[in-house]
Each structure stands twice: as C-alpha cells, then as structure tokens.
Amino acid sequence: MTVCRFSGNADMYGLGIRLGYYLQWYGGVLAAWIAPTEVNPFRFSIDLFVAATFLALIILTAQDVDSLQPVETYIVLLLMFGAYLALVPIYFWRLLTCCDPFWDPSRWPRVRPSALASNLSFIMLIGVLIYQYWFWFNRVPDLDRLGCQQYGFFFGQLRLNSTALIVINALVYVFLGLVAVYILILKFRYMVGFPDPSESRPKRQISRRRKAAHIALLQNMDSWFKLLTAIAVTVAVEVTIDWNEIENVNSLDSAGQTIPFIIGLGLVVRIFYVYWFKYGGDDDDTDSYNSYRSHYEGGPLPDREIPPLRMQIPMQQGHRPVPVRDLPRMSHRR
C-alpha cells in the first residue's frame, strides 16, 4: 500500500519550529553543565513553546478534526512531549532501584526549578497526556478507512495504526499517567502535612567525599537521560517526515519559521556568552556556582539532609560565591 503523500502544515511543525524545539532541548542540557544560570530561562521557554503549540493544536482539532493528518498530529505530539519523555527512563530507573531515594537521579538537580515553574509544567504534562489518550485510542484507528499508509517510529518503521505501535505508545503514556498520579499523591500528602515517604528510610552513612561523588553521578545520569531522550525524539520526528514523504515543511522561508529558530539559536548562543564572560570559561567556577545554588536554594528534591557538594560562603549582592579553599589566602591579606 502506498504512502499518503500530502503537503504538510508548516505552521505546526515546519523546519524553524522543529529547530526551535531541538535547540532548546539540547541547550537546556548544555546549560546545566556549563551555565546553570540559564537553565530556568530554558525551562520557561520550552514551557511557552509547548503551551503555544498545544493551544494551536486544540484550536485546529476543535475547528475540524481532519484539519491535520493523523501522522501530522503524531509529529506535533512528539515535539510537545519531547521534554516530558525523559521521565520514562528516570522513573523506570527508579523502579529498578525499588524507589530508593539514594539512587534517584532527579533528587539533586543541578539547578532547582521554582515551585511555580514545576506546577505549570506539571499541568501541561496532564493536559498533553489527556490529548495523547484521545489521539491513540480515537484518532489513529481512523487510518483503517484510508487507502494509503502513514508511518511512525519506534526504533524502526512501523505503520501508525499497527497494533504494535498503538500498544507501545499506550504503555508509555499509561506509565507516564501513573507517574503523574504518583506525583499528585505526593503533592496531596505534602499539603495535608504528611512527611515525605523517603524520610522514613534509613540514611546511609558514607563519607562526605563519597557523597559528593555519588551526587555528581546522579546529576550526570539525569543529564544523560535527557540528552538520549532528546536524540531519540529528534530522530523520530525527522525520519517520520521522511518516511511519509511530507512536503513543504523543510524550509525557513517565512517569519513563522525564522522566529522560533532564531529564539532557540539565541538562547544557545547566550549559554556560551554567559560561560565565557560570566564564568570565564572556568569549569571550577561553574562547579562553585552549582554548589552554591544547591546549598542555599533548597538542597535536594525533596530530601534536604544530604550535605552540599562543596561548602561555600554565601555571596553578597552582585558578587560571586567564594570557595572555602580561598579563605586562608584572603585572611592573610587582611
């Protein structure tokens, strides 16, 4: 059976929009390593991109459910859900470790998100999940009536309406739905005053140096989970467009494509600007800033009893943190 060739909707997933998403995914991971002050702006920008895309998708669906081909909606959902799909390997790893907080890679973020940003992102996650359920159980079966094929991705080419791809995606999003319910339960427990369940677990008695190395390992695991997820989603989107021979979605010849591309590119360029001119290209300074943020802005999530990576002197307004190792030299000058 032939492929359903058609002209794609560049306003929803054109090249500039796709590049805008990709640059923000990879830039967010890079910023956590070399310019942590830029992490929260990336989080906010991605949430705005997702919210704007989701609003446009809801409007198109409400106006005419057939305004987008099923494979087009599939591509848009991949772009919107790309940042959230990193929860799958993170929570799968947590299951493998029996939900032991000692091995939870999300408990020591390099930069802690604000409560407002976390809640808004969680609301978006719930909204897109609900749409995902409708799409896979209601919209995708409509392909059975067409006389051509549309293809999706799961580490290979599969028919979008094949049982295998529907079951795989259903399992992924049901798993994320259970994760969302679990997070809601934890939020409710916190609101009514119950202690965090992780606090009842016995604390491991290890040296400060081993704790610092362990926290660094968890932070790197979290970053690698996000990076590998971003790579997988990028490949999925691009090969899906190629397999379905979608036309007119691979150019930057309009404002609707150049604007999101320039926004994403500008955010990534700013990472390097901040790294070289604020941190001076010194990795040690970046580590010091991470330690400062972790210690003075809330510590681990949610366990707050693990000591920081490196002790710091609280920085004054307009000054950078001073590592403890520099104090003898400064005292001698006085």
245-274 pLDDT, tens digit each: 998 898 898 888 999 999 999 999 999 998
- pTM of the full predicted structure? 0.78
Q: Which is nearest to 166 in space by CA: 79, 60, 74?
A: 74
Collapse the DSSP code of 146 into the 3-class scheme (helix H, G, I; strand E, B; otherwise coil) and give the result.
Answer: coil
CA distance 162 to 141: 9
pLDDT at 300: 52
pLDDT at 77: 93
CA distance 228 to 226: 6
pLDDT at 83: 80
Q: What are the pLDDT digits (tens) for 40-52?
A: 888 888 888 999 9
pLDDT at 199: 60
Collapse the DSSP code of 7 into the 3-class scheme (helix H, G, I; strand E, B; otherwise coil) and give the result.
Answer: strand
Contacts 24+ apart (CB under 8 A), 318-322: 320/285, 320/288, 320/289, 321/288, 321/289, 321/291, 321/292
87: confidence class by pLDDT, cuts 50, 70, 90? confident
Mean of the pLDDT values across residues 267-285? Answer: 76
What's the token pair of residue 305? 């009893």
pLDDT at 1: 63
Residue 280 pLDDT exceeds 70: no
Give the strand pairing for 151-153 and 312-313: unpaired
Share of the chain above pLDDT 70, in %: 79
Mean of the pLDDT values across residues 181-207? Answer: 72
Share of the chain above pLDDT 90, in %: 25
Q: Taking all residues of the chain, what is their mean pLDDT, rounded to a whole number?
A: 79
Q: Are 81 and 128 in contact (CB under 8 A)?
A: yes
Mean of the pLDDT values across residues 84-104? Answer: 83
306: confidence class by pLDDT, cuts 50, 70, 90? very low
Cross-strand pairs, 323: 312
Instruction: State how far the alpha carbon of 3 is from the alpha carbons of 6, 74, 155, 161, in Å.
Output: 9, 16, 19, 13
Q: Which residue has the higher pLDDT, 256 or 296?
A: 256
Instruction: Give the lowest-confidence range in 120-134, 265-279, 284-298.
Output: 284-298
Instruction: Give the lowest-confidence range in 24-28, 80-84, 116-120.
Output: 116-120
Residue 310 pLDDT exceeds 50: no
319: confidence class by pLDDT, cuts 50, 70, 90? very low
pLDDT at 102: 80
301: confidence class by pLDDT, cuts 50, 70, 90? low
- Please list, residue by residue across 282-308, b when 16 or more beta carbons sit within 10 angstroms of its beta carbon and e when fewer do: eeebbbbbbbbbbbeeebbbebeebeb
**Dihedral of alpha carbons 241, 247, 250, 254, sign:** negative
Residue 288 pLDDT exceeds 50: no
* Highest mean pLDDT pick, 100-109, 188-197, 252-261, 311-320: 252-261
Residue 331 pLDDT exceeds 70: no
Q: Which region, left, alpha or beta, applies to residue 17 given φ > 0 means left and ψ of -120 to 50 means alpha?
A: alpha
Mean of the pLDDT values across residues 212-228? Answer: 87
Beta strands in 86-231 (DSSP E): 151-153, 157-159
What's the token pair of residue 279? 């941190």
CA distance 153 to 238: 10
The secondary structure of 280-302, three-state, reads: CCCHHHHHHHHHHHHHHCCCCCC
Give the strand pairing for 157-159 and 312-313: unpaired
pLDDT at 325: 45
Where are the chain's structural domains?
Answer: 10-333
pLDDT at 74: 94
Residue 108 pLDDT exceeds 90: no
Residue 167 CA, chain-centre distance (Å), reads 24
Dihedral pair phi/psi, residue 111, rounded to 5° = -135, 125
Mean of the pLDDT values across residues 51-58? Answer: 92
